[in-house]
Structure 1
Amino acid sequence: MGFADKARNKAEELAGQAKEKVGEATNNDELAGEGRAEQVKAKAKQAGENLKDAGRTVVDDDR
């Protein structure tokens, strides 16, 4: 996957951070938890993208 997927993952992470901060500011533990969960999900997706990129690099180096 390319730049668009990485940008989408980063946007999802930033949205999670915003949700977490709003939840903390309003004492809404559920919203803060949702924000943290979104961040974890986005970081996991990004880790998958990084693995794909690393795999492509290895394959390209072998050629």
Structure 2
Amino acid sequence: MTNLTVHAPAPVDFEVDLASLRGDCARMAPHWAAPDRIASAPVSPSLIHGVTVPSSSARLLDAMSDYGD
């Protein structure tokens, strides 16, 4: 049996890490191109079929308040 030693992680300085992350993102941004926005057409409800929702799930969702109201 292997005896694994676990060490606590070093304390994290969030300000330095956030600045480092932002710098990394800024350096990577030119390498990534955003795709052109494609407007999708609405789908007719008559074309949507084959989706079934169990009644217990429907009741659960119906009992939930919308957006935390």
Task: Mark yes or no: TM-score above 0.5.
Answer: no
Q: Which has the larger radius of gyration?
A: 2
Indicate the structure with greater helix content.
1
TM-score (norm 1): 0.31
Question: Whose RCO is larger (CA < 8 A, sep 6+)?
Answer: 1
